[in-house]
């Protein structure tokens, strides 16, 4: 799943605590700034299907920090490069 609008001080532990309310969290990957090491505001969570659906229903729009969370299924990328419009 994709999770967005995370605060810059979010940690794997704080996000795991939040999502574990809905089931077992298999993995967490928070995207961090290369220089500061702070969370860039989004990441990816892996959970079982029914637990992921419950987490999306329970957490999408819930406050966590200053902004409401955006929790969605991760959209698979198409296999290929995007073409630029001219």
Average pLDDT over residues 23-32: 96
Rounded distance between C-alpha atoms, residue 86 and residue 70, angstroms: 32
Which of 48, 37, 49, 34 is closest to 12 using CA atoms? 37
Cα of 47 vs its chain's centroid, Å: 11
pLDDT of the residue at 76: 60
Percent of the chain clearing pLDDT 70 (strictly above)? 86
Q: What is the mean pLDDT of the chain?
A: 90
Predicted TM-score (pTM) of this structure:
0.82
Rounded distance between C-alpha atoms, residue 71 and residue 37, angstroms: 22
Q: What is the dihedral of CA 46, 49, 50, 51, to 10 degrees?
A: 0
Cα of 33 vs its chain's centroid, Å: 15
Domains contained in the chain, CATH given: 2-72 (3.30.70.330)
pLDDT of the residue at 74: 80
């Amino acid at each position: 799943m994709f999770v967005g609008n995370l605060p810059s001080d979010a940690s794997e532990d704080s996000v795991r605590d939040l999502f574990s309310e809905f089931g077992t969290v298999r993995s967490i990957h928070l995207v961090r700034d290369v220089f500061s090491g702070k969370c860039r505001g989004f990441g990816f969570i892996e959970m079982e299907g029914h637990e992921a659906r419950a987490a999306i229903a329970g957490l999408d729009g819930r406050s966590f920090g200053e902004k409401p969370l955006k929790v969605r299924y991760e959209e698979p990328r198409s296999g290929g490069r995007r073409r630029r419009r001219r």
